[in-house]
Amino acid sequence: MRAALPVLVVLALIGALWYAAVPFMNIRVSLDLAERMGETVEPEGVNVRRELSVPTLLLNNPGRIGETFRLERPRLPTPGQVLSELWATSGAMVLEGRGFSKRSLIYHGWITLRSTLSGFALGLALGLAGAVAITYARVVERSLMPWAIISQTIPIVALAPMIVVLSSQIGVEGRGLPKAIISAYLCYFPILVGMVKGLNSPSDQQLDLLKTYSASGFQSFWKLRLPASMPYLFASLKVGIAAALVGTIVGELPTGAISGLGARILIGDQFGTPLAIWAALLAAAILAGLLVTALDMVQRSVLRRRGMAA
């Protein structure tokens, strides 16, 4: 409870700031709309208003401030509007029995989640294999590590359209694979770095002890290095899954995908429905929170069983 109170206060502050910003962001749209409906606003004419500052407009039209919170296509929607849009495209559709229709965010979230998980699995395999190779072969570390670092400084989004083109030319149908590749590219690195650290975390004394037991290389890996790396593994898994989700959504943004949360953002932009964009963003945030929390729970139970409860 003592930890929750500051968080709640800060959240409330952010919410208050958000609500306070809404009239400032929306007053122009609101006035233009009202004028088109034939109501009198002060001053009249879009071009006249463009010359005036936002605070002046608010002072001139105090009666219109209420409307700025209820616009259908606001520049900045209120948190309440975003939540109700999210509910309308997820929970409400479930109640109607159309939870997996193509207009529901649950369907799009599922598509995104699937790509994220397959990309995460691919990145995990790459990262683990790389970490084991680096731990056991010095030449791999010296050749690979600089390139692994450089690979992360390349903005992957530049590559995203190319990956889509390439995989469709090779004959891979659908967008699952390219999205998974992009998210694997983003998430393998934290896992690689964390696991290299983790696999090297046993002390020389511990390694020597296993040598006196005449343990084979595989045994010392399985019984010492791998268990010792668990805390590092989970810390980097949590970073990795968040990166995988970013990768999937980036993969869905520029490539003309039609399903997935990133595609909802793109479509919302093309059709000029800001509420859809915000709802998809919120859904992505919730998905990220769920994924990280799930990993956190696995981490707790595994570490407790191993006697390493943090």
* Dihedral of alpha carbons 16, 18, 23, 24, sign: positive
Instruction: Give the number of residues written for the chain.
Output: 310
Selected from 117, 121, 239, 303, the binder of other proteins by CB under 8 A is 239
User: What is the DSSP-derived secondary structure letter of residue 64?
Assistant: G
130 touches other proteins by CB under 8 A: no
166 touches other proteins by CB under 8 A: yes
Selected from 118, 284, 295, 299, the binder of other proteins by CB under 8 A is 284
105 touches other proteins by CB under 8 A: no
Measured between alpha carbons, how far is 194 from 239 in angstroms, rounded to an integer? 10
Closest distance between other proteins and the C-beta of residue 213, in Å? 28
Selected from 146, 271, 300, 309, the binder of other proteins by CB under 8 A is 146
Within positions 21 to 80, which residues make up the interface with other proteins, using CB under 8 A? 75
Closest distance between other proteins and the C-beta of residue 199, in Å? 19
When the beta carbons of 31 and 224 are compared against other proteins, the nearer one is: 31
Q: Which two tokens stand for residue 162?
A: 């190319």
Measured between alpha carbons, how far is 236 from 252 in angstroms, rounded to an integer? 24
Peptide bond into 43 cis (omega under 30): yes
Binding interface with other proteins (CB under 8 A): 3, 5-11, 14, 75, 138-139, 142-147, 149-150, 152-159, 161-162, 165-166, 169-170, 239, 242, 245-246, 249-250, 253-254, 261-262, 265-266, 268-269, 274, 277-278, 280-281, 284-285, 288-289, 292
